[in-house]
Structure 1
Amino acid sequence: MKIKIISIVISLALPLIIFGQIPSDSLTYKLEKLSKNNSVEGFGVAIYTRDTVLYKKGFGYADAENKLPYTTKTVQKIASISKLILGVSLMKAQEMKLLHLDDDVNDYLPFILTNPKFSNTSITIRHLATHTSGLKKLPEYDLKALYFSTPIPKITTELPFGLRRSLLNKLSKRINKNEEISLHDFLYNIYAPNGIWYSKNHFENVKPGVREIYSNSAASLIALIIEKASGMSYSEFVRKHILSVLKMNTSGFDFEMKGTKDKKSSLYHAGIKIPNDYKLLLFPAGGFETSVDDFSIFMQSMAKGYYMGNSILQLASFNEMKQVRTSSKFTHGILWEVYPSSSVGHQGDIVGVVAYAYYNEIQDRGYLLFCNTSTTKTIDKDTDDIVATLKEYYTILKPEN
């Protein structure tokens, strides 16, 4: 019996013994193995506490064709994780007394927003921020919000992963017809009664504050509210009150990032390389671009803020941001996902991108995973395996003395 127990202990300890008992080397070994055997072309990861980054590294390629490695300095879109920036910006605007979460959105929006099925019920900023406004999820407009100045090329070869070439070509052709318009005009066309895309069907038959309905276009309305309240563009507000404060020098929205062209990752969707300079017209909800290095700074700052406040927000704002008010079954505070396990953060996926950013307050551990690949047959399993490996090392990695 003793021999059996000793054998088990040795087998569990072997990875650490092989690498000189350095947990970071063991983690690198496991992630490199995953990188070589999954469908993700390139990815970057980090594990952090509120006081230190315990581990960060890139794997695979930022550009597979040219064998350019993916590093922690590689810049890419992070999709819906952009909403974390939006949530912090909104709380900052409230701290500055520019607005209040329970204000009627029509005190700020440049057009009237009303659910025609409940025309006497106000929609508040809080409703938008908690995805309980009654505005429908509109995937067709999420697709319409993708603007490729460089058209997606036609697929002429058979695709891997069992994907149908004809369907993807039809989808690409549709996206290539999208026109670039401003955030204001895009949202006006959807929600203003005189908008060219307006429909009563854009609204659920449910009062504001009753049901959670995740919507990128509804969340993006918050940026227009911040612009009206602050007198500056949303991107300028973010740069002044978040990016400059944290010295996130290689981060910004996709239309601002021309100076980082040589640092940008290529993007891979359904097994093909797509133009990486596309814009998301609903940029507040998904168009933020950053690196593992830069966003580690942001998430560490947030982790510290949830504990004691930080240089951006007071502790009271952090507490309000993670509070789920309407019902315990809802998963969103103020644009942050909130879970009973005490984890907060967000995940995101968009064309060529899958990304995760989470922090657990009880464990004082968080992780980042940015991937430059989407829509493969095994992408969910591949990213789940990476996340599980990162979490396996939550308690193994220790801060340096």
Structure 2
Amino acid sequence: MDYNLLYSQLLTNRKGIMKKIIGIVCTLVVAVGVCWWLLPTQQPLSQNLTELDQFIPALMTEAAIPGLAIARIKNGQTVLLQTYGKANVETDMPVTKDTLFNLASISKPMMGLVLLQLVEQGKLDLDQDINHYLPFKIDNPHTENEKITLRHLASHSSGIADYYDIRSYAENRDSPISLEQHLKSLLLPDGSNYQQGAHFLAHQPATQRQYSNLAAGLAGYLVEASTGLSLAQYSKQQLFPSLSMTQSSWLLHDLPLNNIAVPYEVEQCVPYLPQIAGLSCADTESPVFNELISRYINPPAADKNFKAYPHFGNPQYPDGGMRSSILELSQFLVGVLNNQDRNGQPLLSEAMYQEMFKLQLDPAISDNQRFFWRDNSMGLTGHMGSDLGVFTAMYFDPTSKDGFIILMNRGMDTKAVAAMQQIAARLHPN
């Protein structure tokens, strides 16, 4: 047998097979590229529109935003209050100035105002160990002799880790688990979810900043520990009436659910493919695939669907459970910027007002963290919020008293963030 001839034939056959495989792969690549090039995409509708009432609806179509509410504050007064789109897509109910939105983490600095009022009344102290007020003891198992204060909780530097778990949410009702029960389950050694101190960080307070919803929940519990009233009760009796926020609440049982904007996630699908979730469609619950579809395909509005979530009750509600309307939230912001309630009386003493906007940490740790408020890259002070099916922003310049509020009943992803930034730039061009 001529092995040299056989080997030569094998090489020839192998080269032929490889050429066929390469040809098939190249054909597939070209076919995929042609199909991708031919896929319909969402066309830019808003970029050349100068009028706000034309620009925003066009942008909402581009970013698949069902409903939106905005306010603009100038020199401490509301100069623009506008709503767009649907609070409920299924019933065709429009967003109005009285439509309630889940504010998500914008709730935190609203709680901060309550806490500073209690400091002013002598019921709390910014730099007292929180165990002085609590009916149970908080002890970080990873550190020695730590002292956690209200200032630390309000500046995300307490050494308490973040905790956010949607499995703890209740649907269309308030959580049956009280805030106290929730905190004990996570932070006490005999708690059912203590997990060997997994919800504490291995550093002393005020030495690092790490955003913590759980620390905000604990700060909210200090209202109850110092007054006997929960944060929700105290706000309903004291804060909200002082600012004419009669329809706002931390708890769902105070509110008509049909007046709360339905929270939505956006499911986007690859055009022409069967709409099979997980294979051709994605939403923010599958973030990687969702990002790929957004970035490389950008389907038109016809290939996007709104998926409704329930209204959730959260046992850790001080971190972001407030519902309010664009009208009442703008009243809150006007009150804060002018440090006045509806009767012209100060919300805080001058000392406490300055404390609210003072930088709370060593600049080496954070040069933009205030008392729950935080400065953003635009040089404005405020807060953003996001949760299942909602995305919110409230920012302002405390000196000029100019600011804006944006509320949308759509979950946060890159499209929503880009839309939020563009609307913010129109509302606060400076």
What interval of TM-score do these two structures reach, taking the shorter chain for normalisation?
A: 0.7 to 0.9
Whether the 8 Å contact between 2:265 and 2:410 is mirrored in structure 1 is: yes
1:121 aligns with 2:146: yes
Residue 110 of structure 1 is matched in structure 2 by: 135
Residue 186 of structure 2 is matched in structure 1 by: 190
Q: Percent identity?
A: 26
Residue 42 of structure 1 is matched in structure 2 by: 67
Residue 303 of structure 1 is matched in structure 2 by: 337
Residue 202 of structure 2 is matched in structure 1 by: 205
Report the CA distance shift for 1:341/1:362 in structure 2 as closer, same or farther (over 3 A).
farther
Whether the 8 Å contact between 2:359 and 2:367 is mirrored in structure 1 is: yes
Secondary structure of the equivalent of 1:118?
A: coil
Secondary structure of the equivalent of 1:127?
A: helix
Residue 263 of structure 2 is matched in structure 1 by: 267
Report the CA distance shift for 1:377/1:319 in structure 2 as closer, same or farther (over 3 A).
closer
Report the CA distance shift for 1:204/1:15 in structure 2 as closer, same or farther (over 3 A).
closer
Report the CA distance shift for 1:76/1:257 in structure 2 as closer, same or farther (over 3 A).
farther
Instruction: Decide which of 217, 221, 227 is 1:220's aligned counterpart.
Output: 217
1:33 aligns with 2:58: yes
Cα deviation for residue 31 of structure 1 reads: 1.6
Residue 144 of structure 1 is matched in structure 2 by: 167
Aligned-residue RMSD, C-alpha: 2.3
Query: TM-score, normalization: structure 2?
Result: 0.74
Residue 367 of structure 1 is matched in structure 2 by: 404
Secondary structure of the equivalent of 2:264?
A: strand
Structure 2 Cα separation of the partners of residues 357 and 320 of structure 1: 19
Amino acid in structure 2 at the alignment position of 1:337: R
Whether the 8 Å contact between 1:270 and 1:376 is mirrored in structure 2 is: no
Query: TM-score, normalization: structure 1?
Result: 0.79
Runs (5+) with no aligned partner, structure 1: 1-13, 17-25, 151-177, 395-401
Task: Answer with 351-360 or 362-371: which moved more.
Answer: 362-371
Amino acid in structure 1 at the alignment position of 2:243: L
1:386 aligns with 2:423: yes
Whether the 8 Å contact between 1:268 and 1:372 is mirrored in structure 2 is: yes
Whether the 8 Å contact between 2:386 and 2:392 is mirrored in structure 1 is: yes
Secondary structure of the equivalent of 1:114?
A: coil
Larger Rg: 2
Report the CA distance shift for 1:377/1:130 in structure 2 as closer, same or farther (over 3 A).
closer
Whether the 8 Å contact between 1:32 and 1:59 is mirrored in structure 2 is: yes
How many aligned positions are there? 339
Whether the 8 Å contact between 1:341 and 1:360 is mirrored in structure 2 is: no
Instruction: Decide which of 97, 105, 118 is 1:72's aligned counterpart.
Output: 97
Structure 1 Cα separation of the partners of residues 394 and 83 of structure 2: 15
Cα deviation for residue 61 of structure 1 reads: 0.9
Cα deviation per residue 1:118-156 (whole Å; 9 max; x = unaligned)? 2312111211111100111234xx333322258xxxxxx
Runs (5+) with no aligned partner, structure 2: 1-47, 268-305
Instruction: Decide which of 120, 124, 127 is 1:99's aligned counterpart.
Output: 124
Structure 2 Cα separation of the partners of residues 339 and 137 of structure 1: 21
Structure 2 Cα separation of the partners of residues 188 and 41 of structure 1: 38
Report the CA distance shift for 1:323/1:310 in structure 2 as closer, same or farther (over 3 A).
farther
Instruction: Decide which of 351, 356, 362 is 1:321's aligned counterpart.
Output: 356
Cα deviation for residue 337 of structure 1 reads: 1.3
